Amino acid sequence: MANLETQILDDVIVKSRRKLLTLGATALGGLVLGTSKAQAATTYTDADILNFALNLEFLEANFYYLAAFGCTINTPNAAAIAAGAPSAGIPITGSSVGTAGTVSGGSKVPFTTVSAASYAIETAIEEGKHVLFLQKALGSAAVPQPAINLGTSWQTLATAANIPGGASYSPYTSDVNFLVGAYVFEDVGVTAYHGAASLLTSAGNLSAAAGILSVEAYHAGLVRTTINTLDPTNTGAGSYTTLISNLRATLSNAALLGASGGTYDTNPDDFGLATFTTGALGAGGSTATATRLTDADQTNVIAFSRNTTQVLNIVTGGGAVANGAVKSPATGVFYPAGMNGLFK
């Protein structure tokens, strides 16, 4: 039976994206943000949505800068500048809503493998450029960097995910631990940009978001591949990916707040690495163990999509919803004081 979500999706497909802009605030708010009926509906602009992405990019860029270089994006050191970081740093102030916050925690990872170190360095520079790109696109509407916790937040999430030794887990102590930390972010970025696509009204902004999504997907695939290379049997860090994905799926589902009649899906919207045995290979009839690296719908292999409340509930460790309603501001874990901008 059709529900509100499928009816809206049908309208979008049949009557074009313009229909989405005229659906009415209540219907749009319920679909996009998972808001309860008691909440006031809000109209969101492209700037609001891009600022939501900017908050996420501030988080990712600082994580990678610290891991790769031991500095934050606004205070690059010689190693960061040599790798391509702007010598003047990336601005963390903005002209729009909010006060610039600082980053707590984090340190340079003592890398021992070229693959993990090179991934960290390349991704740090790329995420920093995403921040600069969004700031330029937003102009005076760009929000400042929010307060970001890259210290105790990791132990909180690792414990919630039931990672062994989670109370003392840190992504800054080894190559494998770093990759597990990167794994926390990258798939979420893919789902966030996918979810935002239908909200953007400018073709230029939609194209830019699609481009950033593609790069985030490259990052996610590389993280998964590198973890699999270091742990091909999924008995160490590989097994942690399933624990993290299960937690992300649980937080994502909790943020739907009764959408689609209270049932989201019979399957989670997040899959960790999973080994499986192939059929007979070659004339000898031997078998081999392979690993599923793609995080996508298992029927059509389309990347998962999350609305802003789902994403917020993940990056705040469950701080976006309470008692069947959206919390504002959404605070916790990586965003101790919430994001800057309309989506809080």
| Residue 118 pLDDT level (bands cut at 50, 70, 90) | very high
Q: Lowest-confidence range among 57-61, 294-298, 325-329? A: 294-298
Per the model's pLDDT, the better-predicted residue between 342 and 42 turns out to be 342
Mean pLDDT of 315-337: 94
What is the per-residue burial (b if ≥16 Cβ within 10 Å, else e) of 102-129? ebebbebbebeeeebbebbbbbbbbbbb
Domain boundaries, the chain: 1-43, 45-326
Q: What is the pLDDT of residue 192?
A: 96
Q: What is the pLDDT of residue 11?
A: 37
Per the model's pLDDT, the better-predicted residue between 288 and 166 turns out to be 166
Q: Tell whether the model's pLDDT for residue 4 goes beyond 60.
A: no
Is the peptide bond between 76 and the residue preceding it cis, with omega within 30 degrees of 0?
A: no
Q: What is the pLDDT of residue 229?
A: 87
Which residue, 182, 294, 164, is CA-closest to 240? 164
Extract the tokens encoding 264: 């989201």
Mean pLDDT of 177-184: 97
Extract the tokens encoding 308: 């802003």
Whole-angstrom distance, CA of residue 274 vs CA of residue 290: 8
Return the HEC string of the chain. Answer: CCCHHHHHHHHHHHHCHHHHHHCCHHHHHHHHHCCCCCCCCCCCCHHHHHHHHHHHHHHHHHHHHHHHHCCCCCCCCHHHHHHCCCCCCCCCCCCCCCCCCCEECCCCCCCCCHHHHHHHHHHHHHHHHHHHHHHHHHHHHCCCCCCEECCHHHHHHHHHCCCCCHHHCCCCCCHHHHHHHHHHHHHHHHHHHHHHHCCCCCHHHHHHHHHHHHHHHHHHHHHHHHHHHHCCCCCCHHHHHHHHHHHHHHHHHHCCCCHHHHCCCCCCCCCCCEEEECCCECCCCECCEEEECCCECCCCCCECCCCHHHHHHHHCCCCCEECCEECCCCCECCECCCCCCCCC
Mean pLDDT of 73-82: 98
Whole-angstrom distance, CA of residue 130 vs CA of residue 132: 5
Q: Indicate if the alpha-carbon torsion angle 320, 322, 326, 330 is positive or negative.
A: negative
| Residue 344 pLDDT level (bands cut at 50, 70, 90) | confident
Q: Lowest-confidence range among 59-63, 109-113, 202-206, 293-297? A: 293-297
Look over the chain and give the mean of its residue pLDDT values, rounded to a whole number.
Answer: 83
**pLDDT per residue as tens digits for the range 286-311:** 555 666 788 888 788 899 999 999 99
Which residue, 316, 336, 334, 335, is CA-closest to 326? 316
Q: Tell whether the model's pLDDT for residue 27 goes beyond 70.
A: no
Mean pLDDT of 181-207: 94
**pLDDT per residue as tens digits for the range 231-272:** 888 888 889 999 999 999 999 999 988 655 433 345 689 989
